[in-house]
Amino acid sequence: MPAEHDHAAGGGAAAAGSAGLAAGRQPGSLAVRFDRAEARLGGRTIWSDVTLDVAPGEFVAVLGPNGVGKSTLVKAALGLVPLASGTASVLGRPPGQAGREIGYLPQRRSFDAGLRVRGIDVVSLGADGERWGVPFPGGGRLFASRRAARQRVKEVIELVGATGFAGQPIGQISGGEQQRLLIAQALVRRPRLLILDEPLDSLDLPSQAGVAALISRVCQEHGVTVLLVAHDVNPILSYLDRVAYIAHGGAVSGTPSEVITSATLSALYGTPIEVLSTADGRLVVVGQPEAPARHTDRHADGPALPW
Amino acid sequence: MVTSSLAVGAGSGAALGWNIGEDIRQLLALHFMVNAFRAGTIVAVLAGAIGWFMVLRRQSFAGHTLAVVSFPGASGAILLGISATAGYFAASIAAALVIAGVPRSPGGRGYSSESAVIGTVQAFALACGALFVSLYGGFLNSLTGLLFGTFLGISDGQVTTLLIVAVAALAMLAGLARPLFFATVDPDVARARGVPDRLVSAVFLLLLGCAAAEVSQITGALLVFALLVMPAAAAQQLTARPALSFMITIALGLVIAWLGLAVAYFSVYPVGFYVTTFGFTAYVASVIIRAAASRLARSRGLRQAVPA
C-alpha cells in the first residue's frame, strides 16, 4: 500500500492524488472504519457524522484544534467510549475486542524527574505489565518465554533507536527520548495497529521531526497501520497517506491533497487558513488556530529539518 | 504485657564490650530480646517490601497517616482493656479503607488532592490518641512508647501475629506486584491494558495499613518512616534497577532494624531513635554515593568528549 506514495520525494501529498481511493478499500478489509459515527459525553455531542477509513499499512492522522474530541475518537476506537450512533470497527471487530493487536500510546504523559525506574523497565511493562505475580529476577535463565520476551524488548528498543539511553532512569532523559521508549513499549507485542494520541506534543522541533520519521518507518518497514492524533499537521504532513480533520462537530477525511487545501480548512475552522506549497513541493499550513508553536512557521523551510 | 511493653528505656544493665561474640551472646541471652529481634526482622522485611512501592508511588504521606492513626488505635485499645496489637491493626486498616474510598480527581495520579483531607484526619487522630493516653492515666512512659517505639516485652503471641500478618501481606503483594508496578509507573497505559487501577490501589493501601501498623509496634507511630521510607528511598537513590533496588531495600531494612535493636539494648534511649538514626545515615550515605557516582561519570564523559 505505501508503495503507491512516494514519501521520499517529499511530494507525497501532491503525487498521491487519488491513490488513497484506489482498489482495496472494501469495508471488510479496513484496519479502522468509522461510519457516520457520533460520540456524546455527558449528554453533549462531541462530534457527529464522522466517517473514516484506514486501510491496513496506512499512516493516517486525525487532525483538529485542541478540545475538539480527537482523544474521544481514539477512545472510541479502543472501545473505551461507546458510540451514540453510527458504526465503527477496528481490525475487523467491534472496538475494544482487538486488545492485544493494538499498540496504544496515550496523550503525552510525562515521567516525574525523580522516578528511579529505567526506560527498559517501562518498555518491558508493555510485554506483560498487566499479568499478576512477580517477575523473578534471573527468570530468563530458566524460562524460554522470558528469554524471548527480553529479546523482544531489546529488539524494539533498537528499532526506535533508544539503545543508548534505555538504561537510564526514565525521568532524567529528554521528552523526545521518553517518547521513543513509549513507542517501543507500544510495539513490544507486535501490534497490527498503532494508535498514538498527540505523540509530538510538547517536543522540541528536532525531536518532533525524529519521532515523526520513526513512526513513518515503523509503518512502512513493519507494516503496522498507524492512526495518529495531532493538532499540528506540519511535522507529519509529508508522511501521511490520509488525513481526517475534525472541527466544530464535523469532519472531513481524504488524502492530504484533497483535504489540506485553503478552502477546506478555512471552512472547517471558520477562520482564514492558508496552505502554502514550498519550493520542494511540501505543504505548510499557516494560520491554524492554536498552532502550538508559532516558530514552526518561521523555521519550516530551514535546511536542518529532515522531513 | 502491655504495662511492661510501655516501660521504655528501663536500662538492661548490660555492658557493651569489645568482644562482639560476647555482645551478641548477651543480646540473645534474654527471651524478650530474642523476641525483639524476631519482631524486628519480620517488620523490617514487610516494611521494606511495602515501603519500596510506597516510595515509588509517592504515597509517603498516606503511609505516615496510616501509622499515626495506629496511635489512637493502640491507646484506645489499652484504654478499653483489649490487646494493643489489635488496636494497631484495626485503626490502620480502617484508615486505609477510608483513604481508598476517597474519590480521586479524574486524571490525578496520586493522592495529592486529598492531602488536605489526610492531614486533617491525621491531626485529629493524634489528638484522640493523646486523649486516650491521658484518660488511661497510668503510665507516664506509655505516651513515649507508643509514639517513639519500644522493644521491651514483645510476647511470643505478638511475634506470631506479626508473622502471620506479614506473610499474608507479602503473599498478596507478590500476587499484585507487576500490575501494581505498571499502574505506578505508567497509569494511563496500565488502565488501557486492563489493569484494574482502583482495585490495585485500594488493595495496596490496605497492605500499607498492615505494614504501618506493624512498624508502629517497633518504632512507634511517629517514627515508622525509619523502616517504611528510609531503606526504600536510599535503595532507589543507589540504583534504578527495580529488582536490585528492591533487594537492597530489604537488606538495608534488616541491617537498620538489627543494629537499632542491638544498640538500644546497650543504651537507655528509645529504640526508635537508633533505628531512625541508622536509616537516616543510610539515606545520607546513598545520596552522597549517587552524587559522587554521577560526578565521576560526568568527568569521564567529558574526558571522552574532548580527546587529549
Between the alpha carbon of residue B82 and those of residues A86, B87, B221, the distances in Å are 64, 8, 19
pLDDT tens for A285-296 read: 887 555 444 444
Angle (CA) B226 B68 B169, round 5°: 70
Q: What is the pLDDT of residue B267?
A: 87
Q: Of A161, A170, A198, which Cα lies nearest the Cα of A112?
A: A170
Per DSSP, what are the bridge partners of residue A242? A60
- What lies within 8 Å, CB to CB, of B191 at 6+ separation is B183, B197
User: Which stretches within chain B are classed as H helix?
Assistant: 2-6, 20-29, 31-57, 60-80, 84-101, 115-136, 140-148, 156-185, 187-192, 197-219, 225-228, 230-238, 242-265, 271-305
Domains of chain A: 2-298 (3.40.50.300)
Bridge partner list, A245: A63, A252
Residues from chain B contacting residue A153 (CB–CB below 8 Å): none
**pLDDT of the residue at B308:** 38
Q: Which has the higher per-residue pLDDT, A224 or A23?
A: A224
Q: Which of A80, A111, A116 sits opposite B236 (nearest CB)?
A: A116
Q: A255 or B43, which is more confident?
A: B43
Is-contact A270 A98, C-beta < 8 A?
no
Q: Is A128 on the interface with B (CB under 8 A)?
A: yes
Quote the pLDDT of residue B91.
94
Q: Which residues of B touch A134 (CB under 8 A)?
A: 174, 177-178
* Beta-bridge mates of residue A197: A229
Q: Which amino acid is at A103?
A: G
**Three cell numbers, residue B234:** 536510599
10-residue mean pLDDT series, chain B (308 residues): 38 65 84 92 96 93 91 90 91 90 57 68 88 76 78 87 96 95 90 88 95 91 90 94 95 95 88 92 95 87 53
Contacts of B194 in chain A (CB under 8 A): 99, 130
Q: How many CA atoms lie within 13 A of A217 on its CB side?
A: 14
Name which of B53, B193, B283 to mutate to probe chain A: the one with the most chain A Cβ atoms within 10 A of its Cβ: B193
CB neighbourhood size of B179 (10 A) = 24
Interface of B with A in 231-250 (CB under 8 A): 236-237, 239-245
8 Å CB contact between B236 and B215: no
- Letter string b/e over residues A213-235, b meaning 16 or more CB atoms within 10 A of that residue's CB: bbbbebbbeeebbbbbbbbbbbb
Bridge partners for A63 per DSSP = A230, A245
The shortest CB-CB distance from B178 to any of A111, A116, A131 is to A131
Q: Which residues contact B38 (CB under 8 A, 6 or more apart)?
A: B154, B159, B163
Q: Whole-prediction pTM value? A: 0.83
Alpha carbon distance A243, B79 (integer Å):
71
The 3-class SS string of B85-148 reads HHHHHHHHHHHHHHHHHCCCCCCCCCCHHHHHHHHHHHHHHHHHHHHHHHHHCCCHHHHHHHHH
How far B190 CA lies from chain A's nearest CA (Å)?
Answer: 7
Do the beta carbons of residue A71 and residue A246 sit within 8 Å? no
Per-residue pLDDT tens for A120-149?
A: 999 999 888 888 988 766 666 677 888 888
pLDDT score of B34:
93
What was the pLDDT predicted at B49?
Answer: 97
From its phi and psi, is residue B225 left (phi > 0), alpha (psi between -120 and 50) or beta?
alpha
Higher pLDDT, A24 or B60: B60
The whole-angstrom separation of Cα B158 and Cα B87 is 13
Q: How many CB atoms neighbour CB B305 within 10 A?
A: 7
pLDDT computed for residue B104 by the predictor = 63
Q: How far apart are CA A190 and CA A222, in angstroms?
A: 9
What's the rounded Cα separation, in Å, for the pair B186 and B190?
A: 6
| Beta strands A32-41; A250-254: pairing state | unpaired
Which is more confident, A18 or A116?
A: A116
Among the partner-chain residues A116, A133, A168, the one whose CB lies closest to the CB of B177 is A133
Distance between CA atoms of B248 and A103, rounded to whole angstroms? 34
| pLDDT tens-place string over residues A182-208 | 999 999 999 999 999 989 887 888 889
Pair B246, B297: CB distance under 8 Å: no
* B136 in Cβ contact with B83 (< 8 Å): no
pLDDT at site A292: 47
Cell 484518660, residue located: B135
Per-residue pLDDT, A142: 73
Task: Please report, rounded to a whole number, the percentage of residues in chain A having pLDDT higher than 70.
Answer: 81
Class of domain B2-6+17-223: mainly alpha
For residues A280 and A267, what is the distance between their CA atoms, to the nearest angstrom? 27
Angle at CA of residue A267, ends A264 and A271, nearest 5°: 120
Specify the 3-state DSSP secondary structure of A85. strand
Rounded Cα distance between A42 and A48, Å, is: 15
Residue A56 has pLDDT above 90, yes or no: yes
For the stretch A68-97, pLDDT in tens is: 888 888 889 988 888 999 999 999 888 888
Contacts of A166 in chain B (CB under 8 A): none
Phi, psi of B80 (to 5 degrees): -80, -5
* Count of residues making up chain A: 307
Q: Which residues of B touch A123 (CB under 8 A)?
A: none
Sign (positive/negative) of CA torsion B207, B212, B218, B224?
Answer: positive
